[in-house]
């Protein structure tokens, strides 16, 4: 039962990195071999892992599943969303839209946003 033991029995012969599962060792080995077996059907870009391809395809589809509750901005990747949330870490200084309750870090950003309600 490797899940909770911390054991990492699969090791890379090139750099010594260790992994819990053989699958992850295989994905890691692509760093050394340069293999990129997953191709985007829209533009032909290639990736070493299915996950990277799935995130990339969102650029073509427009899917942006991570939405900021403070300002309404949306993101294709969770990492970009998490980084964005740090901008809102001091919400006590934010100003809120009286029409939709979204928050903005400055009055200028709020004024820009208000145009969406009146255009």
Consecutive 10-residue runs of the chain (119 residues): their mean pLDDT?
Answer: 80 96 94 96 95 95 92 91 82 80 84 89
Q: In CATH, what class is 66-118?
A: alpha beta
**Residue 67 bridge partners (DSSP):** 74
Cβ atoms within 10 Å of 29's Cβ, excluding its own: 16
Q: Which tokens in the block code for residue 106? A: 């400055």
Q: Which residues contact 41 (CB under 8 A, 6 or more apart)?
A: 57
Residue 12's nearest CA partner among 1, 57, 24, 117 is 24
H or E element at residue 21: none
Residues of the chain with CATH 3.30.160: 35-63, 66-118
- Give the pLDDT score at 92: 65
Q: Is the pTM of this model over 0.85?
A: no
- Give the pLDDT score at 91: 61
Q: What's 61-76 look like in SS3?
A: HCCCCEECCCCCCEEC
Q: In CATH, what class is 35-63?
A: alpha beta
């Amino acid at each position: 039962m490797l899940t909770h033991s911390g054991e990492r029995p699969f090791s890379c012969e090139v750099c010594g990195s260790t992994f819990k599962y053989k699958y992850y060792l295989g994905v890691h080995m692509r760093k050394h071999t340069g293999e990129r077996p997953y191709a985007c059907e829209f533009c032909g870009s290639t990736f070493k892992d299915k996950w990277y391809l799935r995130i990339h395809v969102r650029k073509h589809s427009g899917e942006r599943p991570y939405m900021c509750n403070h300002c309404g901005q949306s993101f294709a990747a969770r990492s970009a969303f998490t980084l964005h949330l740090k901008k809102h870490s001091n919400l006590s200084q934010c100003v809120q839209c009286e029409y939709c309750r979204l928050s903005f870090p400055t009055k200028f950003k709020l004024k820009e946003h208000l145009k969406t309600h009146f255009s």
